[in-house]
């Protein structure tokens, strides 16, 4: 979910495991920063807490993977956001080994995001947009977790504790999956 700590944990994972971290949200934000016409449209969608069309995100991720083709593995943060995105990704790009799900209450996520919003400058770190991001997460992204749970690919992490406490669970999960 928004503010669950995906970016924070991915940075730690990359340091210890040498995977390539691709954040779908960061890729979209750099497209916005490029100042292109498409970037302007993306900014409006993100400001509303809605999802950008899956073709755009798929293309950004595919390009980023191609540019790092020699990587030992990819850690894709904040993705897939909707069921069809995951199905298309696995069909057109690569199969998914497993999914890390950072489970934490909306109250905690909101608190983290509002705190970050004091300095982040992110267009979506405000109370109104956070509410919409939670709604999008419940409606569109939760079914993705169920989809991968049925395939026994979900590793659920209690993400309510400190960054270190969360990371120690992540480490055991990755090591039990052979990383
Ligand atoms: N923090 C982190 N862990 C903490 C801990 N254990 N204890 C205390 N504080 C903790 O963390 C958020 C904040 O909490 C930080 O200040 C951190 O220090 C603190 P962070 O690691 O940044 O959380 P993260 O889960 O990465 O939060 P983020 O805001 O990035 O999540 P979103 O899922 O909302 O953002 P994302 O960038 O993935 O997407 C943004 C938008 O892009 C979406 O709303 C959507 O419009 C669009 N999008 C798509 O349309 N399609 C996509 O495929 C992807 C994105
Ligand atoms: Mg993030």
Listing DSSP states for the chain in one string gives -TTSSHHHHHHHHHHHH-PEEEEHHHHHHHHHHTT-HHHHHHHHHHHTT-PPPHHHHHHHHHHHHHTTTT-S-EEEET---SHHHHHHHHHHT-----EEEEE--HHHHHHHHHHHHHHH--TT-SHHHHHHHHHHIIIIIHHHHHHHHHTT-EEEEE-SS-HHHHHHHHHHHHHHTT-
CB neighbours of residue 176 within 10 Å: 9
Give 65-75 pLDDT, tens digit per residue: 999 999 999 99
Q: What pLDDT, on the 0 to 100 scale, is given for residue 172?
A: 97
Residue 128: predicted pLDDT? 98
1 within a domain of the structure (yes/no) = no
For residue 149, count other CB atoms closer than 10 A to its CB. 13
Distance from the CA of 4 to the center of ligand 1, in angstroms? 6
- Residue 105 domain-assigned? yes
Residue 86 lies in a domain: yes
Instruction: Provide the ipTM.
Output: 0.98
Residue 130 in domain:
yes
In which domain, by residue range, is 140 found?
Answer: 6-176
**CATH number for 160:** 3.40.50.300
Whether residue 160 is contained in a domain is answered as: yes
**116: in domain:** yes
Work out how many domains the chain is built from and give that number. 1
The confidence band for 52, taking pLDDT boundaries of 50, 70 and 90, is very high
Ligand 1 site residues (CB inside 6 A) read 2-8, 24-25, 28, 45-46, 49-52, 57, 78-79, 81, 112, 116, 124, 133, 162-163, 166
């Amino acid at each position: 979910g928004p503010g669950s700590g995906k970016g924070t944990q991915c940075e730690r994972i990359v340091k210890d495991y040498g995977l390539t971290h691709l954040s779908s949200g960061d890729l979209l934000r750099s497209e916005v920063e490029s100042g292109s016409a498409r970037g302007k449209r993306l900014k409006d969608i993100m400001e509303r807490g809605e999802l950008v069309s899956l073709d755009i995100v798929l293309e950004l991720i595919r390009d980023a993977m191609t540019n790092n083709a020699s990587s030992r593995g990819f850690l894709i943060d904040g993705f897939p956001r909707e069921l069809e995105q995951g199905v298309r990704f696995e069909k057109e790009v690569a199969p998914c080994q497993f999914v890390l799900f950072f489970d934490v209450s909306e109250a905690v996520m909101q608190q983290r995001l509002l705190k970050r919003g004091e300095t982040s400058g992110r267009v979506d770190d405000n109370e109104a947009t956070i509410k919409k991001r939670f709604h999008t997460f419940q409606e569109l992204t939760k079914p993705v977790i169920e989809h991968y749970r049925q395939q026994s690919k979900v590793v659920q992490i209690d993400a309510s504790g400190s960054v270190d406490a969360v990371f120690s669970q992540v480490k055991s999960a990755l090591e039990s999956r052979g990383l």
